[in-house]
Amino acid sequence: MKERVKILVVVAMLLQAVSLSADTAKNVEDWYRGYASHWLDADVDIDAVTKYYASPFYYLGSTGPLLDTDETLKASLTSYAETWAKDGWSGARLLRVKVKMLNESSAMILTEWDIHAADGSSIIGCARAPWTYLATRTEEGWKLALEIEIACGQGLVLK
């Protein structure tokens, strides 16, 4: 009888852990969608967007790794917006997001974005631009700690 009770307790704990992980993944996805909403049009509030990032923040792009502080991150985000605006950027839309919990305080976020001009064409030459993030739970809530830029048509495929 004691063995049966132990097994039931372990199964209940495992089911609770799976449920917590699913709830946490949903919370992370909702939080990330809040971040994405700031990019819907070209009049992005960089100060509001910056609050979604941890400091330091790591960026792995095609030219190599970068490490940003709050100040350099704001400059990088401003540069993105200004460069895209020169190319006719009218907004960015999150097409897909998938969250994979690594543990209760770390999540991998896989995304596809449409970064477009007013006529709907891509301003970066990629209709479904993939980015991958690592988010971490902090005292202030979830924060993006790492961003990986993935070449168009390469890497992760979201289904």
16 assigned to some structural domain: yes
28 assigned to some structural domain: yes
Q: What are phi and psi of 154, to 5 degrees?
A: -115, 165
Tokens standing for residue 76:
């990088």
Res. 18 pLDDT band, cuts 50 70 90: very low
Q: Decide if pLDDT at 155 tops 70.
A: no
Domain that holds residue 8: 2-149
Q: Decide if pLDDT at 80 tops 80.
A: yes
Tokens standing for residue 78:
């401003």
159 assigned to some structural domain: no
What is the DSSP pairing of strand 64-68 with strand 89-103? unpaired
Q: Can you tell me the mean pLDDT for 23-32? A: 95
Residue whose entry in the numeric block shows the structure tokens 């305080």: 105
Res. 159 pLDDT band, cuts 50 70 90: low
Residue 149 is predicted with a pLDDT of: 86
Residue whose entry in the numeric block shows the structure tokens 């479904």: 128
45 assigned to some structural domain: yes
**Number of residues that this document lists for the chain:** 159
Residue type, 131: W
Q: How many structural domains does the chain have?
A: 1
Residue whose entry in the numeric block shows the structure tokens 């509001």: 48
Check which CATH number belongs to the domain holding 69 and give it. Answer: 3.10.450.50
Segment among 37-46, 64-73, 127-136 with least mean pLDDT: 64-73
Residue 124 is predicted with a pLDDT of: 87
The candidate with the shortest Cα–Cα distance to 84, out of 126, 42, 40, 128, is 42
124 assigned to some structural domain: yes
51 assigned to some structural domain: yes
What's the chain's average pLDDT? 85
pTM of the model: 0.81
156 assigned to some structural domain: no
